[in-house]
Amino acid sequence: MINLNPKIYDNDVEQEAIRVGFGRGLVKAGEKDKNVVALCADLKESTKVEDFAKKFPERFVEMGVAEQNMAGVASGMAAMGKIPFMASYAIFSPGRNWEHIRTTICYNNANVKVVGAHAGLNVGPDGGSHQMLEDIALTRVLPNMIVVAPCDALEAEKATLAIAKHVGPAYIRLAREKSPIVTTEESEFEIGKASVLVEPENPEAIIIACGLMVHRALLAARKLEREGIKVSVINNHTIKPLDQVTVLESVKKTNAVVTCEEHQIAGGMGSAVAEFLAQTYPVPIEFVGVANRFGQSGTPAELMEHYGLGVDDIVEAVKKVIIRKNG
Amino acid sequence: MILTDEKTKYLEEKAKDIRRDIIEMLVEAKSGHTAGALGMVDIFTALYFGILRHDVKKPHWSERDRLVLSNGHICPVLYATLAEAGYFEKKELMTLRKYGSRLQGHPHREFLPFVENSSGPLGEGLSQAVGMALAERIDNPTSQKFFYCLLSDGELEEGSTWEAAMLAGKTKPHNLIAIIDRNNIQIDGHTEDVMPLEPLADKWRAFGWHVLEIDGHNFEEIFAAVGQAKSVFNRPTVIIAHTTPGKGVLEFEGHYEWHGKAPNREEGEMALKELRTLGGRLKGD
């Protein structure tokens, strides 16, 4: 096991929301580079842009509830040499303002960072209207755009600093709820470099996960290990560009893949993996994700179970893919 | 800048050349937007040959004024003006809309680095211009760099335009000057039939802008309005420029049918003949 929080399997594992890590990373990015600016559409506190706004008020633009304009303004600021981070909930940005992101940011190849907070089912009680399950699909189809979905707050902080340094459009996906710290302060983060978290001798399958699902994938792997089934786990935090080398090397050792994400199965991280493997190394794949449905109100835990994103769902998917491989 | 008779004559000659080039490139391209491009020639001429701070030899000069074209479909006038100003050779105009051309059907700065923004989808340019002005303010609060945004009247139907107008009303960038091509037409007909925009000046005033209305074919009025806009230090300015779509060719003038089509070879020849005989009629009627 590499770079894993030693308490990861304990009940008292440290918890922190991924968005909080982003907030810390944004302040650090602002300290490192005076060209970093932030824009927010009336959600300063919940997207965690607030600390940056307090520290650098002259570099913060309160947009009001106007996500379409936010994309264009960010593009204009980038044209003048700024590095804008534009934050809202993922449902509104890149949801509401997708074409503005396409034209003014990606088509212009503007150095803008789109921050999609409150992505996924974990928004919980707010219900399906606010549970963005299509943002990875929307952003990864855009030329010039890179797409990052960190697995915990520590990784979100590092990813924020990394995308600030990367020149070009980027999307970073954040979750609302507190979630276990999976990585450590020392864990390295590099855009486009997936991390292999668990790699036993002669694994029978590989689980490729992103975001909150990385922790669940680890729990599923341990459960399977106790049943005598050895699996690898990859934290695929960069959905685009996909780390083809790591994915291919790891998949070749197992010939069976399960992808896990808090997103629609259609068009998500698993689709990106499947597109790549279909062309290079076709093997059986099972997809753990939301299957063509909208969310609803409930606690995050209830919803993850309801929509088939529980630890046991991953365990079942692994068993199924191994049967398919051997069948 | 003082507009002498001599300078006016010079601008009129430039405008005639640009109109000729627009017609020729549209005929060659066999598609494109005629009415808006011809209608905005006088404003583009005034901007590139008198108003804008720019340097043909240094297109990326950091101190240049910025011109954001929001309604990218009128790009034949942008391309023809850039060529007239010497940014590239005029023969390249004949590649408009063709495979491999730098002159894409709607401007793309990856192909043509002289343009400040790629555009086409409506209702996005004003946001970009506001963003540029706000970025400039961070580095240089008393900047004398000006940010011009050219918009169509039809695109004011896009809600995002008003999001941008609201933000500019709040942040008050003094160096932002929007120029609306008020030609009263859009694809489906006259703007007031498709979606009434009036009272247009009142709307912008309500959003906190300094509003000016001019004849968009009268160089004196164009220069005076921009001069006044530059002296307004506590608000952005919008210049509502009343123009005639298709200006310069009687058969095209005022007809919304010419919004999105190019003249065929016969119509082009007729138009060129007419341009040559216009005389003083290009000035505000």
CATH of the domain at A68: 3.40.50.970
The residues of A annotated as belonging to the active site are 67
- Helix (H), strand (E) counts: chain A: 12, 14
pLDDT of B127 > 60? The answer is yes
**Cα–Cα distance for residue pair B89/B91, rounded to 1 Å:** 6
A73 and A143 housed in the same domain: yes
Question: What is the pLDDT, as a whole number, of residue A1?
Answer: 43
Which residue in B has a C-alpha nearest to residue A79's C-alpha? B132
Q: Which residues are CB-contacts of B126 (< 8 A; sequence separation ≥ 6)?
A: A72, B68, B70, B149, B151, B161, B164, B165, B168, B178
**Cα–Cα distance for residue pair A304/A233, rounded to 1 Å:** 20
Cβ proximity of A309 and A216 under 8 Å: yes
Domain assignment of residue A6, yes or no: no
CA distance B32 to chain A (A): 20
A202 and A98 housed in the same domain: no
**Cα–Cα distance for residue pair A148/A163, rounded to 1 Å:** 9
DSSP 8-state symbol, A235? E
**A70 chain-B contacts, CB cut-off 8 A:** 127
Task: Give the domain ranges of chain B.
Answer: 5-282
Mutation for B interface: A73, A77, A104, most B CBs within 10 A: A73
Question: What is the pLDDT, as a whole number, of residue B285?
Answer: 41
- What are the b/e assignments for B41-58, b being 16+ CB within 10 Å? bbbbbbbbbbbbebeeee
Phi and psi angles of residue A254, each rounded to the nearest 5 degrees, phi first = -125, -35
**Cα–Cα distance for residue pair A30/A62, rounded to 1 Å:** 17
Which residue in A has a C-alpha nearest to residue B68's C-alpha? A76
Cβ proximity of A3 and A51 under 8 Å: no
Question: What is the pLDDT, as a whole number, of residue B276?
Answer: 78
Cβ proximity of A131 and A121 under 8 Å: yes
A221 and A275 housed in the same domain: yes
Contact A72 B128 (CB under 8 A): yes
Which residue in A has a C-alpha nearest to residue B158's C-alpha? A68
Question: Phi-psi region for residue A298, left (φ > 0), alpha (ψ -120 to 50) or beta?
Answer: left
**B134 chain-A contacts, CB cut-off 8 A:** 61, 73, 76-77
Closest CA to A67 of A39, A28, A109, A46: A39
Percentage of chain A surpassing pLDDT 90? 99
Q: Is the pTM of this model over 0.80?
A: yes
Phi and psi angles of residue A99, each rounded to the nearest 5 degrees, phi first = -70, -30
Please compute the mean of the pLDDT values over residues B109-113 and round it to a whole number. 93
Mutation for A interface: B104, B111, B128, B207, most A CBs within 10 A: B128
Please compute the mean of the pLDDT values over residues A286-290 and round it to a whole number. 98
CATH of the domain at A224: 3.40.50.920
**Cα–Cα distance for residue pair A302/A123, rounded to 1 Å:** 12
DSSP secondary structure, A37-102, as one string: EEEESS-HHHHT-HHHHHH-GGGEEE--S-HHHHHHHHHHHHHTT-EEEEEEETIIIIIITHHHII
Residue A309 structure tokens:
């994103």
Query: Which positions 135-164 of B are in contact with A (Cβ < 8 Å)?
Result: 135-136, 138-139, 159-160, 163-164
Question: What is the pLDDT, as a whole number, of residue B162?
Answer: 98
A173 and A247 housed in the same domain: no
Question: What is the pLDDT, as a whole number, of residue B279?
Answer: 53
pLDDT of A49 > 80? The answer is yes
Residue A186 structure tokens:
């020392």
A141 and A20 housed in the same domain: yes
**SS3 assignment for B154-189:** HHHHCHHHHHHHHHHHHHCCCCEEEEEEECCEECCE
Mean pLDDT of chain B: 95
pLDDT of B282 > 90? The answer is no
Q: Is the ipTM of this complex over 0.85?
A: yes
Please compute the mean of the pLDDT values over residues B181-200 and round it to a whole number. 97
Cα-trace Rg, chain A: 19
Domain assignment of residue A81, yes or no: yes
Burial class (CB in 10 A: 0-12, 13-18, 19+), A84: buried
Say which amino acid occupies A169. P
Please compute the mean of the pLDDT values over residues A227-255 and round it to a whole number. 98
**B130 chain-A contacts, CB cut-off 8 A:** 69, 72-73, 76
A214 and A74 housed in the same domain: no
Contact A64 B109 (CB under 8 A): no
How many structural domains is chain A composed of?
2
Contact B127 A64 (CB under 8 A): no
A52 and A157 housed in the same domain: yes
pLDDT of B281 > 60? The answer is no
CATH superfamily of B5-282: Thiamin diphosphate (ThDP)-binding fold, Pyr/PP domains (3.40.50.970)
Cα–Cα distances (Å) from B32 to B24, B27, B104, B181, in that order, read: 12, 9, 11, 18
Residue A52 structure tokens:
């940056």
Strand pairing category for A231-235 and A195-198: antiparallel
Cβ proximity of B261 and B187 under 8 Å: no
**Cα–Cα distance for residue pair B155/A147, rounded to 1 Å:** 31
Domain that holds residue A139: 15-180
Closest CA to B129 of B180, B198, B200: B180
Within 13 Å of residue A89, how many CA atoms lie on the same side as its CB? 19
Contact A76 B138 (CB under 8 A): no
Partner residue opposite B120 with nearest CB, options A70, A80, A103: A103
CA distance A45 to chain B (A): 20
CA distance A112 to chain B (A): 12
Return the H-helix or E-strand segment holding B139: helix B125-139
Domain assignment of residue A8, yes or no: no
A104 and A69 housed in the same domain: yes
Size of interface A-B (CB pairs under 8 A): 102
Confidence tier at B284 by pLDDT (50, 70, 90): very low
A24 and A153 housed in the same domain: yes
Mutation for B interface: A65, A80, A99, most B CBs within 10 A: A80
**Cα–Cα distance for residue pair A175/A123, rounded to 1 Å:** 8
**A76 chain-B contacts, CB cut-off 8 A:** 68, 117, 127-135
A200 and A175 housed in the same domain: no
Is any Cβ of chain A less than 8 angstroms from the Cβ of B52? no
Question: Phi-psi region for residue A191, left (φ > 0), alpha (ψ -120 to 50) or beta?
Answer: beta
Phi and psi angles of residue A119, each rounded to the nearest 5 degrees, phi first = -80, 150
Question: What is the pLDDT, as a whole number, of residue A282?
Answer: 98
Contact A72 B119 (CB under 8 A): no
